[in-house]
Structure formats: structure tokens, C-alpha cells
Chain A
Amino acid sequence: MNIYAKLIVRLPANGCRLLLQQQQQKINSSIPSLATAVRKASSGPILEYDEPNAYKLHMLEEGPSNHVSCTREEGLDFYRKMQVVRRMEASANNMYKAKLIRGFCHLYSGQEAICVGMKAAMDKNDSLITAYRAHGWTYMMGVSVTGVLAELTGKKTGCSEGRGGSMHMYGTNFYGGNGIVGAQVPLGAGVAFAHKYRGEQNVCVALYGDGAANQGQVFEAFNMAKLWLLPCIFVCENNGYGMGTSTARASANPNFYKRCEYIPGLWVDGMDVLAVREATRFARDWCTSGKGPIIMEMATYRYFGHSMSDPGTSYRTREEVQDVRKSRDPIASFREKLVQAKLVTEDEFKGIDNEVKKLIEDAENHAQNDPELPVDELYSHVYSSPPANFKIRGCDNFTFKDISK
């Protein structure tokens, strides 16, 4: 029998130090942990607490609520999804090292609270586009773990039949997975344009990293989005490093939420899944009420290097990475909150973990054992409407494939 307790976590002012050192890229900075004071109260199975330092505002009179909450069901759901992404990326890491995945592979581990928290506030007909650190987003936008892992290993059961690989996964209302840094931002503004053109009450979420934030086309997209009041939420996933270059070395102004002087911005603690959700609700309301675009900067961290070919330790210390894992991990900290609030037991979490483990293992099976597309298929999907009697040339003058519709 479950005992539900409503737990209100009040953070005593002088006892509250939060996790927000994103602006200062000190290599050996120790990141203080969230101090919590727990008080049991009665009735209602929810987790709620105040996060006074979760947001920073730019050109906004007011921001999202600092009081965040979730039900037990939501808590379990968010935990499970973050854990799926974490384990899925761990599997990708292992398979890459076993040479089952080739080329580029950019892992999302550490950033899970963003994709889970944001999706929880999105409408099912909202659109999303991101860059190449896309596996977590691909899963959250409805592609199965098998669809992701089998795509990484290039099998025909991958969500792009193996044609795309790590950087080119797509789904319903999900426009990838894009390999060229920054390109996804004007594309996302275009998707928002389509929503507005059709009179839909939907937004497009266009994500980019701290590295991409300096791209000219990002500012070109900002300009048109503001001119035409496009329902576009621009989200900078600031994990502190653009490949091997820290934000301090790449950006004259590393306050990415303030980078556009005519679009309001919101800095969010990207390690807190409930704060992320709350902020996204706010941003979505902003866009769908005809106020035009808004920028969000999600302060987050990636545990792995930029990609599998980057150990991630030449430009930051192992201590820094470990510190974040210990004190700011989005999954561990959320789990702890749920346990302390007595909403979920450790056993239940273990059960979820095992279930997730099986899910990943099953997907790995497919990823490792399913077949690739037959070679003949390399000629298909060039055109969606090929002309009659269309031939595609292979590698020599004697190899042609007839494509007729």
C-alpha cells in the first residue's frame, strides 16, 4: 500500500545555494549542491518545491513560476524517459567503441532533463528541429529505441532505414537531426512560418548549441521570426563547450538568452526537469498568444566529449565532469527528490531501471543483428516523384538502376 504524502520543500533563504555557475567557466569550480529542507505534510501525491534561481529574464516583465510540481505518475514518467535516454546513449557509446557504429556520434548524456521536460510541455502537434546531438530528441519525438539504435548501426530497421545515421533521424513533426551547424535554425523558423500560415495554434521548437549561437544564419532567423511574429521557440542548449572550445573562448557575449536585443529571453536551469517544463509552458504560451518568438537558454552539461572521437578531457578536467555527475545530475537529483518526498520507493526505481535495461537490450539486439538494406536500395528515395523511365547511374558506365513510379 502506497503512502502518499504531499511534500512541500521550502528552501530556507540562507541555506539555499543552487547550481548556477554556467556563466563562469572555471575549470576547477566546485558546483554547490541544492540544499533541501524537507517537511512532510498531508494529502495529495505530488512533488512540489520552489526553485527561486531557476530562471533569469531578458526583456520579460515576468517569467515562469518558480514553484514547480508534478504528480507521482508524471514523476515516474519523467524519470523513466530520462533513464531511457541515458541508457540508450550508453549503449551507443559501447557499440561505437565496438566499431558497430561508424562516422559521427554525438551523445546527449547529461542533457536529458531538457528533452524530457520540454516535450512534457509541448502539444502533440508542435514541431521540433535540432542539430546533430539528436538521439534523445528523436526518442522523445516518438521514435522507438530500436529505431534510434538500429539507425546508428545502419540497419534497415533504423528510423531512416540506415540511410541517415546518427545525424539524420526524423519522425512525426520532427525535422531531424541536422549535420550543418546552425542550418536547423532558419529551417525551424520556416516550420513555424508554416504553422502560422495555416492558422495553427502550434509552435516550432528550434534547438541549437552554444557553438552554433554565433552563426549568422541564427540571427537572420531571429530577424525574420520577430518581423513576422513567427511562433518559434529558439532554444540554446548551452552545455559549456562548442566542441573543444569553451563559451568564454567562442562568444564575446556568452549570455545566450540575451543575444537578441529585440526578442525576449529566458535562462533556465536545464538540469531540473520540472523547471524546464515550467519554462517551456511559459514560452509556449508566449508564442501561441501572438507575441512572436522567444529565446530560451538551457544551462546544461554533457558528460561525454563533443563526439565519440573526442575524449572530452583535453579542454576540461575530469574533476569538473565528475563534480557535475555528483551534484547536478538531472536524473539522480530528480530521483532523490521523489524518494525524499516519499512518492516513489527505491525498489520501484530499481524496477524501472531493470525494465529500461531490458528495453535497451532488446533494441541492441535488433541494432546488432538486423540486416542492412539490400545494395540495390541505394538508388531509391532520391526523388519523391521521379520522371517516367528514370535511370540512376551507378559507379560505372555499365551500372544503371531503373526507377519508375
Chain B
Amino acid sequence: MNLVNNILKSQSSMEVLRRSFSISPRLLTEKSLTIREAITQAMDEEISRDERVFLIGEEVAQYDGAYKMSKGLWKKHGDKRIVDTPITEMGFAGLATGAAMAGLRPICEFMTFNFSMQAIDHVINSAAKAYYMSAGKVKVPIVFRGPNGAAAGVGAQHSQDYSSWYSQCPGLKVIAPYSAEDCRGLLKAAIRDDDPVVFLENELLYGLHFPLSDEASSTDFVLPIGKGKIEREGKHITLVGYSIGVKICMEAAKELEQSGIQCEVVNLRSLRPLDEDIIKNSVKKTHYLLTVEFGWSQCSIGSEVITRICESDAFDYLDGPPIRVTGADVPLAYAKTLEQNSMPQVANVVKSIKKILNK
């Protein structure tokens, strides 16, 4: 009798709890993580796991990282594993690549990918092509990572999106993660990968929280490079995005839900190799395609996605022309309104979807 009373009492208190705080049991156990934490953790775990892994770049050690991406790592792992460099991108990217050729596994951080242009000869000619040119004698297990694309108000020279540049080059693997789970799993996979990887983060996402499943918290959690994810299922149109592009796709999808339009959002996760199949399967279901990214339109990732769909049997499933949402075709201005209108907004996505669907 007491037991039954206890159960009834606890059930009713749960009811009270639920009504007052609107907390569902699932959320109580689910963790959340910022992108920043996800990346720091991934690096920490891989550095602890394999003594050949080390982090090298400007301000990564004693400053905890220009964007605090390596917070606490130098204190924990020391000078040997977390290496501060002078401001010499070409030199340290080359040095890191040489160290990789000689069997270490460097994580080479570019403070932003804009500065990687100074070092791009090493990323492409020294790293990407070495395995092929040497007929397999020279492996380059390096990860080049850092923030890519626009920040806020940093001006044209500090805002470029290099997705197209790097993803064009065979020999590289190019990853552009979106969520905390993406960052954890894909950065760990990148560090464990024997090929050179370019890991394109986004500064505007660094502080955002994302839920993290238990599985994704495991130290051996890796995601496959070259496979995308359906972030949201839908049947009316396929939205393909990567990195911060996924964010506005999700926001547009939420907004259009109210109009009865259900968008399927494909998060590419990797740009090279590109997960063609996930896009094709989605297009075959929805019959419409819109690509969304923050980089410039000419030779964009969206151009590649649309061309691949048109070249495949998925073309026959299209009921309307596939189009793109991209950054405006200008160097990025500083003034707030100009900057905002040079970057794609939810409104651009919503407008494009309505046009395609004739709604």
C-alpha cells in the first residue's frame, strides 16, 4: 500500500514538474556542447590518444588559440605537443607538411583560411599531390584547420570562403562541418586519416550550442568522411547546404513549415569526397533542389551539386530548375547593412523556394 502511494505520489509530482517546467525526460539526459568545445575536445582526445599528433599554429599554445579553440591544451600537453609559431604561414605550413611526410600527424591551424593563401602552395603542391607523385611512397597525414568564410565586420580580406578552392583539388579531403556532433566526429576522423585533410570551420558557429548524444561523446566516436546527413526530413524540396549554410536552411525550413512546405535539409558535411548519393536520393523523393552557401556563386559548391544532379539519373526526377543561394558576387563590405545584404539570409532561401515551387 505504501509502495503504491509512493508511486502515485511520484507520478503526480512528475506531472507537476512536467507542467511547471515543460521538461521532457529525454532532454534531462541529453548533453549540449558548443562547436568550440567540440573541436577542443576532439583535439584533446586525439592528442592524448596518439603521441604522433600535435597542434601547430599561431597563438595555439600560450594564448589558448586566437579563437580559444585550443583552450587548456598547452597547460595539459605542454610545449612539445602544442606549438606556437611565428607569423609565417608559408614556413609553418611547409614545416608541418614535412613533419607529416616524416611520420608525425600534425594539426596545422590557420588563424583564418584567408591566411592559408600564403601557404596554399604547401597545401596543394606539397601535401595533396605527394602520395600520387610518389606512387604511394609518401603519405601526408596532416589536418589543416581553422575558420573559413565570413565573420562579422572584418572586411573583405578576412572574409573569404575557400570551399571551392580546396574542394577542387584531388588528393585532399575537404570537410565543412555544421553541428557539434559533426565537428567532434569529423575532426577525430580527419586526424586519424592518413591523407591530407582541409577542415573548414566557421567562426560564427563557434559559440552555438548543439545537443550531443551519448554515442557522440565517446572518445572513439568518428564519422565517415565523404558522407552527408539528413538534418531534417521533408518531401517538397531538397535543400543542400554545408557549414553555416545549413543553419539558414534549417531556419527557412522551420519558417516554411507554417505554409505547409516541408523541406528536406541535406547537410553535406564533406565537400570532397562529395556525397552524391544522399543528394540524389533526396531529389528523387522531393523533385526540387536548392543549394545554399555563403561563398561566391561562380564555381561554387552549389554549381557542382547542381551539375552532378543534372548529369545523373536524378535529372529525370526534377520538376523544376535547380538553383542556388550564395553570397553576393562582391568583395565583402564592412558597413553592417551592406555586409548583411552581401550574405545569404533566410529570406533569400524562402524566396527561392517559393519561386521554384511556384508558391
Which segment of B15-23, B99-107, B344-352 sits at the interface?
Answer: B99-107
Which segment of B128-136, B157-165, B252-260 sits at the interface?
Answer: B128-136
Instruction: Name the contact of B103 in the complex, choosing from A186, A194, A227 (C-beta under 8 A).
Output: A194
Contact (Cβ within 8 A) B125 A179 = yes
B273 at the interface (CB under 8 A from A): yes
How far is A227 from B87 in the complex, measured between Cα atoms in Å?
13
Interface size class of B (residues with CB under 8 A): 35 or more
Contact (Cβ within 8 A) A191 B101 = yes
Q: Mark B80-101, 1 if CB is under 8 A from A, else 0.
A: 1000011010111111111111
- B43-100 residues with Cβ-Cβ distance < 8 A to A are 54, 80, 85-86, 88, 90-100
Nearest CB of B to A405, in Å: 11
B170 at the interface (CB under 8 A from A): yes
Which segment of A46-54, A258-266, A352-360, A384-392 sits at the interface?
Answer: A384-392
A127 at the interface (CB under 8 A from B): yes
Q: Mark A156-191, 1 if CB is under 8 A from B, else 0.
A: 000111011000101100011011100101111111
How far is A198 from B193 in the complex, measured between Cα atoms in Å?
21
Residues of B within 8 A of A168 (CB): 133-134
Contact (Cβ within 8 A) A163 B133 = yes
Find the A residue at minimum CB distance from B101: A175
Nearest CB of A to B61, in Å: 13
Residues of A within 8 A of B224 (CB): 387-388
Contact (Cβ within 8 A) A384 B194 = yes
Residues of B within 8 A of A382 (CB): 131-132, 170-171
Interface size class of A (residues with CB under 8 A): 35 or more
Residues of B within 8 A of A223 (CB): 86, 88, 91
Contact (Cβ within 8 A) B103 A397 = no
How far is A227 from B79 in the complex, measured between Cα atoms in Å?
13
B138 at the interface (CB under 8 A from A): yes
Q: List 18 A-B contacts (CB under 8 A).
A: A163-B135, A170-B134, A170-B137, A171-B137, A175-B102, A178-B126, A180-B125, A183-B94, A186-B97, A190-B94, A191-B102, A194-B98, A198-B104, A223-B88, A223-B91, A227-B86, A385-B193, A397-B311
Q: What residues of chain A have their CB less than 8 Å away from a CB belonging to chain B?
A: 127, 129, 159-161, 163-164, 168, 170-171, 175-176, 178-180, 183, 185-195, 197-198, 204, 216-217, 220-221, 223-224, 227, 381-385, 387-388, 390, 392, 397
3 tightest A-B CB contacts, nearest first = A190-B98, A220-B91, A186-B94
Q: What residues of chain B have their CB less than 8 Å away from a CB belonging to chain A?
A: 54, 80, 85-86, 88, 90-104, 121-122, 125-126, 131-139, 170-171, 173, 193-195, 224-227, 273, 311
